Amino acid sequence: MTPPVRLTLTAQSSAGLLCRLIGLLAQHDLAAPDLKVTTRGTEMRVEMVLRGLSPQSARIAAEKMRGCIGVVSVSETGSVPAPA
């Protein structure tokens, strides 16, 4: 089993962007990941933990997210510990 991967995105605040991000994951037949969304003014920060993706697939998903309109940056912080 592959370890979970944490992605952190910064973007322009947009409810539609959240739908597009989850849609990208649905293309890999993944349910909605663990999400934490924080907005401050016109900026949005999205932290997600992806489970069930190979490291290569996680990188591809991150690249697709970078291509979404409004996304400023995407960083992969590597594997995260499994929940207790």
Q: What CATH number does residue 60 fall under?
A: 3.30.70.260
pLDDT, residue 41, reads 94
Q: In sequence order, what are the residues at sequence separation of 6 or more whose Cβ sits closer than 8 angstroms to the Cβ of residue 67?
A: none
- Asked, for residue 74, whether it belongs to a domain, the answer is yes
Q: Are strands 34-40 and 43-50 parallel, antiparallel or unpaired?
A: antiparallel
Half-sphere exposure in the Cβ direction for 3 (13 Å, CA): 8
pLDDT by position in tens, the chain (length 84):
678 889 999 999 988 999 999 888 888 787 767 889 999 999 999 999 988 777 788 888 889 999 999 999 999 876 555 444
- Asked, for residue 84, whether it belongs to a domain, the answer is no
pLDDT, residue 29, reads 80
Q: Distance between CA atoms of 28 and 14, rounded to whole angstroms?
A: 23
Alpha-carbon distances, residue 72 vs 11, 28, 37, 39, 45 (angstroms): 5, 23, 15, 14, 10
- Asked, for residue 25, whether it belongs to a domain, the answer is yes
Structural domains counted in the chain: 1
